[in-house]
Structure 1
Amino acid sequence: MRVMVTRFFEEFLMPGEVISETDESHDVRFATATLLMEVSRSDNEYQEVEKEAILKILKQLFDFSEDEVTQLVELAEDAADEAHDLYSFTRLINEHYEYPAKKQLIKNLWDVAFADGRIDAFEEHVIRRISGLVHLTHEDFVRAKILARESLS
């Protein structure tokens, strides 16, 4: 999987930009995409509206083209299929995101969960686990949910 992720980012880097095996800046983008995918699949009803929400979020976060974000989502789908836990992804988030970016991530997870118009208990459970793994306070977890719900209107 890491080889596929490295190839993806090498293909879309600026000309002359070099990526190393130890460069994890691209991995955090992949981790973010995979966590978004985990939420969308947690209720066993992966819907097109959720995929569209993920594409929109990733394009805004990382300034990717349509083609780049579509390929990243495909990699994230594969990673979500193979993932045994969330820790490997949240570890990268903890290493690279400051607290405000973590709050935004949780809000984005809620945006994906709300995309189909309802919150499933499994979606909430996964978001709660991710929130705990990235050390977000309960208050900020709830605030992110409220902000996501309000942005629907």
Structure 2
Amino acid sequence: MTDWFASLKSIVGRHEPGDDTHALPRAAAALMLELAVIDEGGDQAELDVVHDAMRRTFGLDAGELQELLGQAQQAQRQSVSLHEFTRQLRTGLAPEQRAELLEWMWRVAYADARLEQQEEHLVRRVADLLAVPHQEFIRRKLAARGG
């Protein structure tokens, strides 16, 4: 019985931020990377926005940024659901920070000068999972588009 409990605890522990100071930035990066690769594997303009967002929002230096994005990319590829990222972000960020993340996601989506249907759908799902109100969702979309 103890082995089963220890195993369960280690699985749950992998998905809890705990003392990992990069858990929230990694989750945010994973969501943005998911968006960047949704249309034909992503293009450099979208990836540049992801880098800019992580540098500005979380104040990461070049080395930290590369390491974190590598970890986020691995987490994004291994993920079976957006919930493991959005759950951390929903509880770990204030409402204004969640809305700011959504705006960065819109910037990623618009970076290649076209908005694909799958990109908009993903941003809508993330907004719902992060509990960003619809009015804020639209406001952030317009801000990212420059309107």
On whether the aligned pair clears a TM of 0.5, the verdict is yes
Q: Distance in 1 between matches of 2:131 and 2:38?
A: 21
In structure 1, runs of 5+ residues without a counterpart are: 7-20
Residue aligning to 1:101 = 97
SS in 2 for 1:44: coil
In structure 2, runs of 5+ residues without a counterpart are: 1-9
Q: Distance in 1 between matches of 2:69 and 2:111?
A: 16
SS in 2 for 1:70: helix
Taking a change above 3 Å as real, the CA distance of residues 143 and 134 of structure 1, as seen in their structure-2 partners, is same
TM-score, normalization: structure 2?
0.84
SS in 1 for 2:29: helix
Aligned residues: 133
1:34-113 to structure 2, matched below 5 A, reads 34-113=30-109
CA RMSD of aligned residues (A): 1.9
Q: Percent identity, aligned pairs only?
A: 27
TM-score, normalization: structure 1?
0.81
Q: Distance in 2 between matches of 1:55 and 1:37?
A: 10
Q: Which of 117, 121, 125 is residue 117 of structure 2 equivalent to?
A: 121
Q: What's the offset of the Cα at 1:25? A: 3.6
Q: Distance in 2 between matches of 1:44 and 1:140?
A: 29
Q: Compare CA radii of gyration and give the structure with the larger one.
A: 2
Q: What's the offset of the Cα at 1:24? A: 4.4
Q: Distance in 2 between matches of 1:118 and 1:59?
A: 24
